């Protein structure tokens, strides 16, 4: 079983819809949670960064962490064609730095105009 599970998709939704992307994990020591967005044949860029449980909002994006269920989500409101990309979750335990980040496989998202 992988430490981080992420549905690879592909996921296609119409423009303006609310998108929900999810990851589950098995390591209860994970406390730092990140979402990266990766356009085709480009490097990922950090979208959201959360610590421990709770919600964090940034514009149309909301990151949600439920440590009791070992489940994290990224919600995109009013989705735009420019949101079409692969979304990677990443997480780590508090005692380690970036060298111990564990990435999900990524979910490919397409927003249909």
The footprint of another protein (CB under 8 A) covers: 4, 6, 8, 32, 34, 36, 41-46, 49, 88, 90, 92, 94-99, 101-106
Q: How far is the CB of 94 from another protein (least distance, A)?
A: 6
Q: How far is the CB of 38 from another protein (least distance, A)?
A: 8
Q: How far is the CB of 6 from another protein (least distance, A)?
A: 8
- The residue among 14, 113, 33, 31 whose CA lies nearest residue 73 is 33
CB nearer another protein, residue 53 or residue 102: 102
3-state DSSP assignment of residue 79:
coil
E strands present in the chain: 4-6, 11-14, 19-25, 30-38, 45-51, 54-58, 61-66, 71-76, 85-93, 102-103, 107-112
CB nearer another protein, residue 82 or residue 113: 82
Q: What is the rounded CA–CA span in Å between residue 101 and residue 33?
A: 9
CB nearer another protein, residue 17 or residue 38: 38
3-state DSSP assignment of residue 100:
helix
Q: How far is the CB of 74 from another protein (least distance, A)?
A: 16
CB nearer another protein, residue 79 or residue 86: 86
């Amino acid at each position: 079983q992988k430490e981080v599970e992420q549905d690879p998709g592909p996921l296609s939704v119409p423009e303006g819809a609310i998108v929900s992307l999810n990851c589950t994990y098995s390591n209860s020591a994970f406390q730092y949670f990140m979402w990266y967005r990766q356009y085709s044949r480009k490097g990922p860029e950090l979208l959201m960064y959360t610590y421990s449980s709770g919600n964090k909002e940034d514009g149309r994006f909301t990151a949600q962490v439920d440590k009791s269920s070992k489940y994290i989500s990224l919600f995109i409101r009013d989705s735009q064609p420019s949101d079409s990309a692969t979304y990677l979750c990443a997480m780590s335990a508090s005692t380690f730095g970036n060298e111990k980040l564990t990435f999900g496989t990524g979910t490919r998202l397409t927003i249909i105009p």
